[in-house]
Amino acid sequence: MIPLSFAQRRLWFLAQLEGPSPIYNLPVVLRLHGDLDVEALRLAFGDVVVRHEVLRTVLPARDGEPFQRVLAPAEVGEVLRVTHAAEEQVASLVAAETGYGLDLTTEIPLRALLIATEPDVHVLVVVLHHVAGDGWSMGPLARDISRAYGARCEGREPGWEPLPVQYADYTLWQRELLGGEEDPESVLARQVAYWREELAGAPRELALPVDHPRPTTPSHRGHTVAIDISSDVHAELAALAREQGVTLFMVVQAALAVLLSRLGAGEDIPVGTAVAGRTDPALRDLVGFFVNTLVLRTDVSGDPTFASLLGRVRETNLAALEHQDVPFERLVELVAPDRSLSRHPLFQVMLSVQHQSQTTLQLPGLRAEGVLDAEATGGLPSRFDLEVTLGEVSGGVGGGVGLRGAVIGSADLFDVGTVELVAERLVRVLSVVAADPLVRVSEVEVLSEGELRRVVEGWNETGVAVADVSWPVLFGEQVARRPDAVAVVWGDVEVTYAELDERASRLAGVLVGCGVGAESVVAVVLERSVDLVVALLAVWKAGGAYVPVDPSYPGERIAFMFGDANPVCVVTSGGLVGVLPGVWMCRWCVWMIRVCLRVRVVWCWGCRGRMWRRM
């Protein structure tokens, strides 16, 4: 049996847990203009499936252990399906195709649908599952389909050279190259040792400005927001990268770390990124899942300048690239962080920056244009909390070469407005650091002028009109409005507004009989309880002011408070009478038995140990 690669194994495991899912589909949607030879295109897809064994491989299991089963070409059947539809039906057909969940155990990982809308207009939908391909694979796949189509249009088979290796060969070679962790001299053992040290103490979950709590089971729904960075800013970023001896990716990574840190994620910002994983030239023209994921930590502590931060990023990234052979899936197993199906292990933010390279079909007599967007495909899925993708494009904002991409935020965690803000703020941070590389992290302003005005002025404008009535009157109005609503909760005890009002009114009557009135003071010596609330409200109803005395205060402090306030009476309980100053044990005490004037007097300790009174 041919084992799965480490990367395939993780996707197979997720498929067993979640069932068939479109989360790891890699869709391409093209509109083809011109005289299309449908039969030639059908044969071309068949030729490509024969050429790349991984495209006709299923992943069954035996005794719980998955393996690769390469189907014979005759077992595959037709790859390209053809249908006719009106233009208004295209979007739903595309969404259904790109949203189809493949069963990896029985279905090959490649699907293609051709939608004919007019005699010379077609929409081609190609879906490659990640288990059999990656972003790099789209280049060889497009080139081979184009070459096979051209040959078939001429009535011949494509005359390409056989591939030097197949994906199954790579799977066996990968295990042989890495060796075992038990061998200290193996590639796996040496690189795992590096990653254990590098990832020690990394945050298990990055604190992002989410709108909703993380669910137990993610839905993988995403909000996609486009990013456009002008050619002027792109030129400044590229110049900064050259000056600092770093790549454009490192500049964007550092800017993203600054943004996330300023938004409250802390000073240790791990992000994930993909590397091609095709370290052998024999793999360059092969379709397959070779890409590996690296975890890159950015240390923004100490408030460095952005230029200094780039130096840190460069050092970390170069070391990571030197240890890129350990499959991420194997690293997760060996490093063994706290695992959860609700979040991605080791990092929750993914970043990719691609150089100017747009591979598309080159079909003779046809013009192909990409039409893939979030709406056409029913929304791009989210595999991470946040995913930032950028690529160099011609004809960006301002003309010339710019950066264009998207931020995809998990709909489980973020509202679409929050994802829009993240995208806007990332563009703002990139513009700031491009203009001034010596700016410190703490000086990078992530908020717009409007947001700053709202925070500083709008949110601090808290003044409200207050009715010219006493608190007891306001309380009485609430009692009338919602008599049965719960007013006080203490442990298992709940008291409604009506009950609280009745008890406070009874006690207020007793207090009035003790001489409590306007400007008089009542000491309240009670522990935290419903009775304490009743007592305070009763004092107000009687027209007096209360002196809150915590029974746990030192005796000297309690004696001082009583002597200074000279209360008319004390509201306490029988169990607390012992804490009262001696003279008060023989004066007016009101026992808590379940039967603009001054409203409160409190004391604060001064710097010399003496208490002072405030009203």
User: What DSSP letter does each residue of 179-242 carry, written as one string?
Assistant: --TTSTTSHHHHHHHHHHHHTTT--SS-----SSPPPSS----EEEEEEEE-HHHHHHHHHHHH
Q: Is 380 left (phi over 0), alpha (psi -120 to 50) or beta?
A: beta
pLDDT at 261 over 90: yes
**How confident is residue 143, by pLDDT bands cut at 50, 70 and 90?**
very high
Give pLDDT, residue 369.
Answer: 87
378-415 residue pLDDT tens: 456 888 999 999 988 875 555 677 889 999 999 999 99
Other residues' Cβ atoms within 10 Å of the Cβ of residue 436 = 14
Fold for 471-614, please state it.
Rossmann fold (3.40.50)
Domains 1-178 and 221-278+288-356+381-456 share a fold: yes
User: Is the pLDDT reported for residue 607 higher than 50?
Assistant: no
* pLDDT (average), residues 178-200: 90
Map tokens 């899942």 to a residue. 289
Choice between 474 and 318, residue whose per-residue pLDDT is larger: 318
Region 237-251 average pLDDT: 95
Rounded to whole angstroms, the Cα distance separating 255 from 428 reads: 10
Look up residue 157 and give its two tokens: 């088979």
Instruction: Please report how many Cα atoms fall inside a 13 Å half-sphere around the Cα of residue 320, on the Cβ side.
Output: 26
Please enumerate in sequence order all residues whose Cβ is within 8 A of that of 148, keeping only pairs 6 or more positions apart, or say none: 43, 44, 45, 47, 48, 158
Fold of 1-178: Chloramphenicol Acetyltransferase (3.30.559)
Q: Cα(353)–Cα(391) distance, rounded to whole angstroms?
A: 5
Res 397: pLDDT: 58
For residue 587, the model assigns a pLDDT of: 46
Contact partners, residue 50, CB within 8 Å, separation at least 6 = 56, 73
Angle, in degrees to the nearest 10, between helices 248-260 and 416-435 = 120
| Helical (H) or strand (E) element with 267 | none
Region 108-117: mean pLDDT is: 96
Top-tier CATH class for 221-278+288-356+381-456? alpha beta
Higher pLDDT, 64 or 371: 64
Tokens of 193: 């040792």
pLDDT value, residue 610 = 44
Residue 318 burial (10 A CB sphere; 0-12, 13-18, 19+)? exposed
pLDDT classification of 358: cutoffs 50, 70, 90: low
Assign 359 a pLDDT band (cuts: 50, 70, 90): low
Question: Is the model's pLDDT at 357 over the cut of 70?
Answer: no
Cβ proximity of 396 and 402 under 8 Å: yes
Q: Is 163 in contact with 51 (CB distance < 8 Å)?
A: yes
pLDDT of res. 293: 93
Task: Give pTM, 2 decimals.
Answer: 0.72
pLDDT over 50 (residue 463): yes
And the tokens for 606? Answer: 């001064």
Neighbours of 91 (CB within 10 A): 16
Share above pLDDT 70 across residues of the chain, in percent, rounded to a whole number: 91
Domain assignments of the chain as residue spans, ordered by start: 1-178, 221-278+288-356+381-456, 471-614
Largest CA distance in the chain: 116
Q: What is the DSSP string of 508-538?
A: HHHHHHTT--TT-EEEEE--SSHHHHHHHHH
Residues 226, 423: contact at Cβ < 8 Å? yes
Comparing 120 with 19, which gets the higher pLDDT? 120
pLDDT band (50, 70, 90) for residue 599: very low
So what's the pLDDT on residue 439? Answer: 96
CA dist., res. 563 & res. 613, Å (int): 12
Looking at residue 372, its pLDDT comes to 52
What are the residues whose beta carbons fall under 8 Å from the beta carbon of 127, sequence distance 6 or more?
Answer: 25, 26, 27, 28, 97, 98, 100, 110, 111, 112
Predicted pLDDT at 227:
93
- Residue 184: band (very low, low, confident or very high) from pLDDT cuts 50, 70, 90: confident
Place 609 in a pLDDT band, splitting at 50, 70 and 90. Answer: very low
Return the higher-pLDDT residue of 223 and 452. Answer: 223
Tens digit of pLDDT for each residue in 303-351?
Answer: 999 999 999 999 999 999 999 999 898 888 888 667 777 888 999 999 9
Please say whether the beta carbons of 544 and 517 come within 8 A. yes
The structure tokens listed for 88 are 């208004």
Q: Is the pLDDT of residue 596 over 50?
A: no
In this model, does residue 73 exceed pLDDT 80? Answer: yes
As a whole number of Å, the CA-based R_g of the chain is 35
Residue 368: phi, psi to the nearest 5?
-105, 135
Give the tokens for residue 52.
Answer: 């790349």
Q: What's the confidence (pLDDT) of residue 597?
A: 39
User: Residues 141, 133: contact at Cβ < 8 Å?
Assistant: yes
**Among 49-53, 474-478, 523-527, which range has the highest average pLDDT?**
49-53
Percent of the chain's residues with pLDDT above 90 = 64
Pair of tokens at residue 112: 């293609």
Q: What mean pLDDT comes out for the span 538-558? A: 91
Query: When comparing pLDDT for 514 and 439, which is higher?
Result: 439
Q: Average per-residue pLDDT in the chain? A: 88
Q: What was the pLDDT predicted at 96?
A: 93
CB 346 within 8 A of CB 337: yes
Q: How many residues does the chain have?
A: 615
Please give the Cα distance from 78 to 42 (Å, whole number): 8
Cβ partners under 8 Å of residue 458, min gap 6: none
- Pairing type for strands 292-299 and 268-275 reads antiparallel
- pLDDT of 442 reads 95
* Segment 599-603 mean pLDDT: 43
Structure token digits, residue 355: 């150089």
pLDDT number for residue 396: 54
Does the pLDDT value for residue 24 go beyond 60?
Answer: yes
